[in-house]
Amino acid sequence: MSNSSDTLILLNAVILAVTSEVPRFLVTTHGDHVPQGSGPALPYGPFEPSHHRTLEIALRGWVEEQTGLPIGYVEQLYTFGDRYRDPRELAGGPRVVSVGYLALIREATPPGDAEWLDCYDFLPWEDWRGGRPDIIDSIIIPALERWIETAPTENEKSVRRERVSIAYGAVEAGWDSTLVLERYEILYEAGLVQEADRDHFARATETGNRAQDVKSGPPLRAATGMMAALDHRRMMATALGRVRGKLQYRPVVFELLPDNFTLLQLQRVAESLAGIDLHKQNFRRLVVNNRLVVATGKFDRQSAGRPAELFRFRRDVLRERPAPGVGIPTRSAS
């Protein structure tokens, strides 16, 4: 399963779907490379250089084999290769390098032990559709202020304060919805997510130097979301931030919709990904004026009230201009 005696190359898929206005990640509860009790894991498969012509071909093949779900839109996210990201490396296991991919599909029931989980169960501070989440001001900001004060030097204290200020919207520009990864990594460094306690305990146990290796600071806060295996929540944060950025300049939202949809369905899916509420008339005006959709002449008669007109994505827009996004703002007021 590896390309050398001491390195294991895996392909991880962050598979995202939106159903009933809920963005969901596809996860599994166990896998050969996932330590037991470490939380749900993203689907994965090995890359065999002698058998696979390209990384993407390998990814598509094993995802469909494992989940029964063919993936359409897929793009490479990032390569995750930090030392000891898999705790078994400490015990003499191979260095595990994962190439992460983002895949967008329409939700379907997967076989086996795979299941869909709400992405905001893992990243609860990212959902602003009902306003600024309470967890930010009641738990996160007070704990991060304590973390800032524990910095060993004044320079480090200043660096931490600036990072928190930018990531959590305590600046004039407000909340930047694309900084999902930056916010998660700050929480991990500050010991405010369950993975931090888990990882530091594992490393300390293996090195036999627990007193020095266990990270001090704010206590574990289970309220900061569901734990995922290894660094898979970091992959999820990377994927959500990427999707939010792409909403500006690529029509990725249409990968998550049926062929025919109402404008309200389109708006709700876009809002669920962006994590913010959008002005109904402004959104519809932007989508229609930019000719992203075309009316089908049919109506949705299953919804209550007056039947809504059905639209479809106008694919010609991909050839007409370089950045045909739906124009969702990346920043919202703090």
In terms of pTM, does the model score above 0.85? Answer: yes
Residue 322 lies in a domain: yes
Distances (CA, A) of 194 to 23, 87, 265: 22, 15, 35
Distance CA 43, CA 316 (A): 33
| Same-domain status, 94 and 9 | yes
Residue 210 lies in a domain: yes
Residue 239 lies in a domain: no
Nearest CA to 103 out of 147, 149, 60 is that of 60
| Same-domain status, 10 and 109 | yes
Domain boundary among 64, 85, 120: 120
Domains identified in the chain, total number:
3
Check residue 33 and report its DSSP letter.
Answer: T
Q: What is the pLDDT of residue 267?
A: 95
Amino acid at 271: E
Domain boundary among 120, 145, 162: 120
Distance CA 228, CA 114 (A): 14
For residue 10, the surrounding DSSP H or E stretch is strand 7-19
> What range does the domain containing 15 cover?
2-120
Sequence-distant (≥ 6) Cβ neighbours of residue 211 within 8 angstroms: none
Sequence-distant (≥ 6) Cβ neighbours of residue 14 within 8 angstroms: 25, 42, 77, 100, 101, 102, 103, 235, 236, 238, 239
Q: pLDDT 10s digit of each residue in the chain, 334 long?
A: 444 458 888 899 999 999 889 999 999 875 665 666 678 999 888 888 778 788 888 888 888 877 778 788 899 999 998 888 887 788 888 888 999 999 999 888 876 778 899 999 999 999 999 999 999 999 999 999 999 999 999 999 999 999 999 999 875 568 999 999 999 999 999 999 999 888 776 565 554 544 343 344 444 456 899 999 989 999 999 999 999 999 988 889 999 999 999 999 999 999 999 999 999 999 998 898 889 999 999 998 776 678 899 999 999 988 887 777 787 776 665 5
On whether the CB atoms of residues 103 and 13 are closer than 8 A, the answer is yes
| Same-domain status, 177 and 206 | yes
